Amino acid sequence: MNAARSRITLPFLIFVTPVLMWLFLLIVLPHIDLLLMSFRIEDDAGAMVWSLVNYLNFFDEPVYWRTFTRTAVYAILTTMITFSVSLPVAFYITKVVSPRFSGFLSLLLLMPFWVSELVRVYGWMILLRESGVINHFLLRAGLLQRPVEMLYNDITMVMGLVYTSMLFMVVPLISVLESLDDSLIEAAYDLGGNVFSIVTRIIIPHAMPGIVSGGIVVFMLTLGNYLTPNLIGGKNSLWFTEQIYNQFIASFNWNQGAAFGFLLLILSSAMVWIGLKLTRQKLSQVVQ
Amino acid sequence: MIRSLPNTRPYTLGFKLYVILFFVFLFAPLLITCVLAFNDSQFPALPWKGFTLEWFTADLPERVGIFHDSLNLSAIGVSFKVAFWVSILSTLVGTCGAFLFEQENFRLKQALYFLMLAPLVVPGVILGISILLFANTLGVFFENTFNLDVPLFRPGFWLVVLGQFSFISTLVTLVVSARLKKFDHSLEEAALNLGATRLQVIWHITLKFLRPAIIGAGAVAFLMSFENFNTTLFLVGSQSTLPITLYLQVRDGSTPVINAVSFLLIVGTSMLAVVNLTLSRKKE
């Protein structure tokens, strides 16, 4: 664009007004309010005063920070599992299967993710619960004597989280692997490289931008997930979003909830920032 | 290793098996949900007791099909209304955003662009609570200073629309921007040389060019809104959307009616997805 456009014109005003209203009224001001609310408490007289109590509560009460750490650790674990499950699939679709099928397979891959997350979690519930379909088949096959409850444990929860966010890893991986020149792999093979060295020294370095953008999105979605941990995680396996929900809806302590929300926001932004810094990328490149 | 290289048989077979297992993993929960919507049983479980459409059509004391289930039907209605407004609003504002970031130059453009991307990396739950808090603050402010009670600031229909709009607009902006990048500016220049104003050019030429992207983005916005759970959870009032209603039912026990709703959702979204894909393919 040339410099002559930099003065204020009618089209500019038409474009900028709704965008500014959107970003300031629905993003900036609400987050400032969230931050302010998290530093306020009701004192004994019922008036609102400034205080750090909401944050001190977080560190005093082991259940809060344990849930927080647990959520972070499980979100990282989920991101890593999602990556290891998705990479072979993305590689197969782009490099191994005959090109006739690769378009069809990547379409097929997208289909389940158009469907609501709730329906997908529900599907797993009917498959895995004590009276579920998998138990039914295992009993009929004589592999089990009595039904086993496969829901409400951490393994199932992580599997559900991987399932929910897989698409956001597979799609960026497919698009970076498509741009990988086959002749690089052929050359490495001719020079005697084995599968392990080709994967770690050619494929992964080339796919790094896709891995980072997929990883960021998967991590953030997992951290902010509520449905999956709530419905198929155990009753004592709390997720941090559930703590936020409890503060808001059950205890009606919005200020405490705001502090929790802000902590979660800091955690997710910090992880995104670290991911970008480690790979020297910009957010605007990653979301493309 | 890859197509062009000689591969050992175990490698090819093993890889194929892995991908097949992956697709089974991907589709098993959806298929089983659909199949059990037609099982003639009081519970969404096997054994198979015969084919029935009663979970869709029945209106019996012990069995109310989805077409007579007023709770779920009204939730579907609410979700449609919310998704309608969200897709209209976010396509309008998202298209403005695309023009702003692709065709205009102004100070702090980078900062504003970064801000526009932010909703993508803010968890939906946080968006929900911050908008809830801010609406509440505004509500209290209006009540104290002007003695006005503004229904918009209480959890309810319009707050849900605004909450979903706040992050879906980012998506629309990105999709429309991507198309606008491919626009041939000589078309605009030709029209400007022929005496059109900038707004006329945008209306008659640029927007025509963008139409497939805008329609596609609108369809995706509709779907995302229809399915949104995290942000909606905190903003919902007495009118529940479908994901929230379903969540409460699934949490407290389940009947095959949920399978019937899920079946309709799966069929509906797949159809919308296929239409969207074929349309965008044709235009390419």
For B29-81, write each residue's pLDDT tens digit: 999 988 888 887 777 777 777 787 777 877 777 777 778 788 888 899 999 99
**CA-closest candidate to residue B201, choices B284, B103, B105:** B103
Show the DSSP H helices in chain A as ranges: 10-23, 29-38, 53-60, 62-91, 99-114, 117-128, 133-140, 154-165, 167-178, 182-190, 195-198, 204-223, 227-232, 240-245, 254-278, 283-286
Total of domains in chain A: 2
The pLDDT score that the predictor gives to residue B83 is: 94
Based on the fold, state whether residues A10 and A142 are members of the same structural domain: no
Residue A45 lies inside a defined structural domain of this protein: no
Read off φ and ψ for residue A49, nearest 5 degrees.
-130, 160
Pair (A203, A106) in one structural domain: yes
Minimum Cα–Cα distance from A159: chain B residue: B25
| Structural contact between residues A122 and B250, judged by C-beta atoms closer than 8 angstroms | yes
Cβ separation B265–A119 shorter than 8 A: yes
Residue A43 maps to a domain: no
| A260: nearest Cα among B133, B183, B86 | B133
Tell me, what DSSP letter sits at residue B152? Answer: G
> Which of B33, B121, B130 comes nearest A123 by C-beta?
B33
Identify the domain containing residue A202 by its residue range. Answer: 52-286
Q: Which one is predicted more confidently, A48 or B236?
A: B236
Please calculate the CA angle A211-A214-A217 and round it to the nearest 5 degrees: 145
Tell me if the bond preceding B212 is cis, omega within 30° of 0.
Answer: no
Of the partner residues A15, A92, A115, the one whose CB lies closest to the CB of residue B30: A115
Residues A12 and A76 in one domain: no
Q: Is residue A206 part of a domain?
A: yes
Residue A168 sits at the chain B interface (C-beta within 8 Å): no
Chain B CB within 8 Å of residue A118 CB: yes
Mean pLDDT of B199-212: 87
- ipTM beyond 0.95? no
Q: Is A251 on the interface with B (CB under 8 A)?
A: no
CB-closest option in A10, A22, A124 to B199: A10
> DSSP string of B76-96?
HHHHHHHHHHHHHHHHHHHHH
For residue B204, list chain A residues with Cβ-Cβ distance below 8 A.
Answer: none
B139-147 long-range Cβ contacts below 8 angstroms, 24+ apart: none
Does residue A47 lie within any of the structural domains?
no
- In a domain, residue A44? The reply is no
Based on the domain organization, do A138 and A211 belong to the same domain? yes
Share of chain A above pLDDT 90, in %: 22
Which among B214, B187, B182 is positioned nearest to B202, based on CA atoms? Answer: B187
If asked whether residues A132 and A224 sit together in one domain, one would say yes
Q: Which chain B residues are Cβ-neighbours of A172 within 8 angstroms?
A: none
If asked whether residues A123 and A30 sit together in one domain, one would say no
User: If you average pLDDT over each of A34-43, A154-163, A274-283, B196-205, which comes out highest?
Assistant: A154-163
The H or E element spanning position A49 is strand A48-50
Query: A34 at the B interface (CB within 8 A)?
Result: yes
A9 to chain B, any CB pair closer than 8 A? The answer is yes
- A102 min Cα distance to partner chain B (Å): 12
pLDDT of residue A192: 80
Domains and CATH numbers, chain B: 71-253 (1.10.3720.10)
pLDDT at A285 over 70: no
**Interface with chain A: mutation pick from B2, B150, B166, B205, highest number of A CBs within 10 Å:** B2
What is the CATH classification number for the domain harbouring A177? 1.10.3720.10
First to last CA, chain B: 32
Instruction: Tell me whether residue A74 is in a domain.
Output: yes
Partners of B130 on chain A (C-beta within 8 Å) are: 30-31, 33-34, 261
Phi/psi at A50 (nearest 5 deg)?
A: -75, 140
Same structural domain, A123 and A249: yes
> Is there a single domain that holds both residue A76 and residue A155?
yes
Is B131 part of the contact surface with chain A (CB cutoff 8 Å)? yes
- Range B205-232 average pLDDT: 89
Do A8 and A86 lie in a common domain? no
Smallest Cβ–Cβ distance between A136 and the set B46, B178, B199 belongs to B46
For residue A219, being part of any structural domain is answered with yes
C-alpha distances (whole Å) from A71 to each of A67, A124, A158, A216, B216 are 6, 21, 11, 15, 35
Tell me the per-residue pLDDT of A161-176, one tens digit each, with 9 for 90 and over.
999 888 889 988 998 8
pLDDT tens readout for residues B94-108: 999 999 998 888 888
Q: At what angle do helices A204-223 and A154-165 cross, to 10 degrees?
A: 120
Same domain, A122 and A214: yes
Q: How many CA atoms lie within 13 A of A271 on its CB side?
A: 25
Best mean pLDDT range from A109-113, B125-129, B148-152, B181-185: B125-129
Q: Is the pLDDT of residue B283 over 70?
A: no
Backbone angles phi, psi at B186, to 5 degrees: -65, -25
One domain for residues A31 and A71: no
- Are A17 and A156 members of one domain? no
B150 and A CB contact within 8 Å: no
As a 3-state breakdown, chain B gives helix, strand, coil percent values, each rounded to 5, of 75, 0, 25
What's the pLDDT tens digit per position in A212-266?
888 988 998 899 899 999 888 877 668 889 888 888 888 888 888 899 999 999 9
